[in-house]
Structure 1
């Protein structure tokens, strides 16, 4: 077993290597073990993927903090990789809500997590700038003496507010407040991503799947990105495979989908703790 402090140091160092690294997003312990077997260096939870697995929508109100952290704890326990969590809005509007979420996250073995500036209210979707910064400052203070890397998210582009100047101002303020990594999901193109990376002095995370997926890891690294995640898109890819298989059986009465299924022996091997924890 690798202890939490070592995982944190490994995770932190990934953000300062040359190029960009991919942090894929499992939604449960099984998908975590599969991804760990492929040689990724870190994992990130996905609230969307987990919500889908529970038969719920992806929204701030869909899952409680306890549910999110229980899911994260299972993913942490499944491999020896560093795990960062999607901590949504910090599970409450106040700075202390965010701080408490960080402390609770570290307590279940997470070495990183993101706090967003979205309110969950469609009529007023983004926290006031001042409060948003206070929330990140409180989370950063809570993380200061923990093995925990804080990511601050500016959510404008996900809520129909494609204001690049405001997004950059927020990210810069979040960095000043103590965030370690910055993240603005939904940036529409490579040039916009490049502008964000050039405007801030912290590693930038970009999620792939929300917008144009034609550019590569190398393209993103050249634009200045240091970390790439996939959010709920691996979970949605899995749902898509199940949907296509079920439609084939229902509509054609055939079972050719089974040719693409993972062999049972391989699945069993991936789910063994010895395989999941094998050092690289």
Structure 2
């Protein structure tokens, strides 16, 4: 860990508290990171799905921790003045201490951690287990003297019909993560504006919403999200996916 990584983490944390919506486009390699940074974005996110696709591997912890960190290191090295947060899935089986140490060594200023453990048959961590893991990550970062932006994700809305009250379950899980030290929380797949507003009302810190760069989010456009007070927007794999038709159209005439 270097002083510059600590400074980048503090800058990323500050960007969550400016009163405006922070948009972190998801990049997958050094080239995409440079392009997005040069477009004027002050911070970036690495999605596990597009990173895995760029490596010819699968999402859902098909990559090893070494694989994921190799991608993170290459991206962070390509944009050394830009804070980068990385999707680390459910932690790749690493202890919080190892995860934080190695992530900081790779140059990342933040991370996503989800509550679906794909390496263990896709089981879902309990609310308490997930909060404990998030809390241990925060403690390891604090011990290193870094304002690492821990973004706690819940997959409640992706588990169709598993919960009688998905909004209530997501709120319970994310509140527990906030109390454990998460600096941002992420209800991936929130279905509509009403559900998102209920979560914003129930939570005290920044909330991350996924959006499609062409079509917006399930809760509305960027302007809609700004009015609601959403703190952070990411694209997940959708930026890479939306580029595919453009690439096809560009090369097809040369077939």
* TM-score, normalized by the shorter chain, greater than 0.5: yes
Aligned position for 2:153: 153
What do residues 67-88 of structure 1 show as CA deviations (whole Å, max 9, x unaligned)?
Answer: 1111111111111210000010
Q: Which moved more, 1:29-38 or 1:104-113?
A: 104-113
Q: Is the 1:150–1:179 Cα contact (8 Å) retained in structure 2?
A: yes
From 221, 224, 235, the counterpart of 1:230: 235
Distance 2:97 2:208 in 1: 21
Shift of 1:143: 1.5
Distance 1:121 1:91 in 2: 7
Q: Which moved more, 1:115-124 or 1:186-195?
A: 115-124
Aligned position for 1:220: 225
Structure 2's unaligned 5+ residue stretches are none
Q: Is the 1:154–1:185 Cα contact (8 Å) retained in structure 2?
A: yes
Distance 1:227 1:212 in 2: 12
Q: 1:124 to 1:63 in 2, by over 3 A?
A: closer
Given the alignment of the two structures, is residue 201 of structure 1 paired with residue 201 of structure 2, yes or no?
no
What do residues 21-51 of structure 1 show as CA deviations (whole Å, max 9, x unaligned)?
Answer: 1100110000000000110110000111111
Distance 1:36 1:108 in 2: 18
Q: 1:243 to 1:98 in 2, by over 3 A?
A: farther
Q: Is the 1:208–1:228 Cα contact (8 Å) retained in structure 2?
A: yes
What do residues 212-269 of structure 1 show as CA deviations (whole Å, max 9, x unaligned)?
Answer: 45822221122221010001111112333334445x3xxxxx339xxxxxxxxxxxxx
Structure 1's unaligned 5+ residue stretches are 249-253, 257-280
Aligned position for 2:42: 41
Higher-Rg structure is 1
| Partner-residue secondary structure (3-state), 1:85 | strand
Q: 1:168 to 1:41 in 2, by over 3 A?
A: same
Shift of 1:149: 1.2
Q: 1:98 to 1:116 in 2, by over 3 A?
A: farther
Aligned position for 2:13: 12
Distance 2:75 2:51 in 1: 11
Please give the TM-score of this superposition, normalised by the length of structure 2.
0.88
Distance 1:187 1:34 in 2: 29
Q: 1:5 to 1:121 in 2, by over 3 A?
A: closer
What's the C-alpha RMSD, in Å, of the aligned pairs? 2.3
Distance 2:119 2:100 in 1: 23
Aligned position for 1:255: 254
Matched residue count: 245
Please give the TM-score of this superposition, normalised by the length of structure 1.
0.81
Aligned position for 1:87: 88
